[in-house]
Amino acid sequence: MNVNFVVPVYNGGKIWEQCAAALHDCLIAEQLSPQQVLVIDSSSRDNSRDVAARYGFRCRTITSAEFNHGGTRNLGVEMSDGDVVVFLTQDAIPQADFIRKIVSAFDDEQVAVAYGRQLPHDDANPLARHARGFNYSTRSYVMGISDKPLYGIKTVFTSNSFAAYRVKVFRRLGGFPSDTILSEDMYLAALAVLAGYRVAYVAEAAVKHSHNYTPVEEFKRYFDIGVFHCDEKWIREEFGGAGGEGTRFIFSELRYLMKENHYRWIPRACVHNALKIAGYKLGQHYQKIPQGLIRKLSMHKRFWQ
């Protein structure tokens, strides 16, 4: 099975250098060519393109204004000739044997999308560590339309920080939305499941990827998630919301912080969760908010240009 890799990059800095080095090592270990990696650089002002060249990756440069989470990744698929395309973000550091393990999910012909486990970075704070453990279990599974009644919107959860797609199905479904604020991965997974395909979670395939978000950053990110669900109402209509999952997350986080003696993080966790909820609710009604204020509330400001 021929595999290509697509990595959107913008001012990747040191974490991109770590990602590129680890990716290169994994390619060599599995006797794959660095030319199977396409870096799409949004006119970085640092040495991101030099890093790509150093490791032998192909590089396509676009303007920062051209970048879109969906459209840019569609470009990556258009420029690839593989049976499977693996997406990584610039801050996701591949772990050993991740390629073979994620690609093995496609031995099941019904799998259209596969995503791997995300481990916390070494500098992850307690909130980030818990989030990774909560969202990415140690057990692999495959979800399809029959799982919708029990798992709701979790059925179509995936993450393009580390996800792979069967290209012929990706193209058949029309790819990602070309102009979306984020969550292009969930959009495609939802289309795939409704078309009778399945989404695989491969716990054995892993990258290190986490964020030490501030409370304000959490608000802005969840505002953008609310915007996405406002624009793509059909996903919630088909699969339901995540209310029960959100409540489960909050109690799981509190138990984790107490178990690990991170008591001083509990007030901050409460602030984070309150701002997540507020941001999401506000984002769902973004069309009623003045454009100038929207840009201040959003994490992805370029989307509103």
In terms of domains, do 188 and 60 share one?
A: yes
Query: Are 249 and 229 members of one domain?
Result: yes
Check residue 101 and give its pLDDT.
Answer: 99
Pick the last residue of a domain from 173, 208, 243: 208
Same domain flag for 117 and 43:
yes
Mean pLDDT value across residues 23-45: 98
Residues 203 and 259 in one domain: no
Q: Give the confidence band of 244 by pLDDT, cuts at 50, 70, 90.
A: confident
The per-residue pLDDT for range 259-281, each reduced to its tens digit, is: 999 999 999 999 999 999 999 99
Confidence of residue 209 (pLDDT cuts 50, 70, 90): very high
**Is the same domain home to 147 and 225?**
no
Question: Is the pLDDT confidence value at 161 over 80?
Answer: yes
Domains identified in the chain, total number: 2
Long-range contacts of 42-45 (CB under 8 A, 24+ apart): 42/8, 42/9, 42/10, 42/66, 42/67, 42/72, 43/10, 44/9, 44/10, 44/11, 44/12, 45/11
- Assess whether 107 and 148 both reside in one domain: yes
Distance CA 302, CA 65 (A): 7
For the chain, how long is the longest CA-to-CA vector? 53
DSSP state at residue 105: G
Of 180, 208, 236, the residue at which a domain comes to its end is 208
Q: Which among 168, 191, 208 is the end of a domain?
A: 208
Asked whether the predicted pLDDT for residue 243 surpasses 70, the reply is no
| Pair 124, 203 in one domain | yes
Domain boundaries, position 194: 3-208
